[in-house]
Structure 1
Amino acid sequence: MADTERQVSTTAGRRAGLRAYMALGVFIAIIIGLYLGQPDSFSRWMTALHVVAVISWMAGLLYMPRLFIYHSDAAPGSEQSETFKVMEQRLLKVIMNPAMMITWGLGLYLAWDVFRFQGGWLHAKIALVVLLTVVHVLFSRAVRGFAADGPRRSPRYWRMMNEAPTLLMIAIVILVIVKPF
């Protein structure tokens, strides 16, 4: 089997999905272990893991539109288009979706445990994370659209959409660090 065929096979996709679920299980086991073994510093550990999840999620949100730009230029059904479909599916399912879920889970835990849902900056941050999640959903729909060889948006559109996660990230970081209100 050629390398390209191996990368786009259904079996390879299932293995990647299985590895993602296994990684999520290991992550949950780590959280339980930290809760039991490090109760005094548990919130600091959760903050660190939250930041790691955010970085992973943002990496996917920043990379996905770049894939869409190149995929928009590939002829539907071409080998290049099929390769982009696999890349987009795996990025979404193996990195972005788990990272988003972990980000939300740990973020809500921290908002409750550390901040008691107090502070205007926290409410504004959560609102911006909701918008970031909307961008994630739009990217997920685009992945499905590309997978079905449906209508495509222009590379210019995806270049502009590439800015949305960046602008939201900048605003969120400022809210978290500066806490202006």
Structure 2
Amino acid sequence: MLWVKAFHIVFVASWFAGLFYLPRVFVNLAMVPPESVAERARLLLMARKLLRFTTLLAVPALALGLWLWLGYGIGRGPGNGWMHAKLFVVVLVLGYHHACGVLLRRFERGASRHGHVWYRWFNEAPVLLLVAAVVLVVVKPF
């Protein structure tokens, strides 16, 4: 079980690294002047590759988490309300990941509706989600 837990942590950390950086690329894309076609193309390529890589990291993170939960029974049974809250946080992270894909497709179509300041705020969400998940798993407040 410790091997599964260790690799789960590694893949979650790697997944979040991508979710931390991808919106920073969006900030830069939102600041590219319209006449800077090459810079925009380079940033879009970076964003596409980063989203693909981040998605590949999310799959084993989720699979290993399910293995821990269903296979080893971590977080099941009475007194494990923290796990329900953590699973809700995981759903929010998946939603955020999906939102990043939607935003990237809008950038690719030239239909982004937000400025760089909005993307700077958007970039803070995964930090809050990671803090919530870690506190729930380590502290188990309920």
Same-fold status (TM-score > 0.5): yes
Runs ≥4 residues deviating over 6 A: none
Match of 2:120 among 145, 159, 162: 159
Please say if residues 64 and 91 of structure 1, whose CA atoms lie closer than 8 Å, have aligned partners that are also in contact.
yes
Which stretches in structure 2 are left out of the alignment for 5+ residues? none
Could you tell me how far apart the structure 2 residues matched to 1:109 and 1:141 are? 29
Q: CA RMSD in A?
A: 1.3
Q: Distance in 1 between matches of 2:132 and 2:112?
A: 32
Shift of 1:66: 0.6
Q: Which amino acid aligns with 1:177?
A: V
Q: Which amino acid aligns with 1:108?
A: L
Task: Tell me the amino acid that sits aligned with residue 83 of structure 1.
Answer: R
Q: Is 1:120 matched up with 2:78?
A: no
Whole-angstrom CA distance in 2 between matches of 1:116 and 1:73: 44
The whole-number CA distance in structure 2 between the counterparts of 1:140 and 1:117 is 32
User: Does the aligned pair in 2 maintain the 1:74–1:81 contact within 8 Å?
Assistant: yes
Question: Any residues of structure 2 matched to 1:40-79 within 5 Å, and which?
Answer: 43-76=1-34, 78-79=37-38
Q: Equivalent residue of 1:55, what SS?
A: helix
Higher gyration radius (CA): 1
Structure 1 partner of 2:57: 99
Structure 1: unaligned runs, 5 residues or longer: 1-42
Count residues in correspondence: 138
Structure 2 residue corresponding to 1:145, chosen from 81, 106, 113: 106
CA drift of 1:117 comes to 2.9
Aligned equivalents of 1:49 and 1:98: distance in 2? Answer: 14
**2:141 matched to which residue of 1?**
180
Deviations 1:100-148, CA, capped at 9 Å, x for gaps: 1111111111011231633111111010010011111100111111122
Asked whether 1:110 is paired with 2:105, we answer no
TM-score (norm. length: structure 1)? 0.73
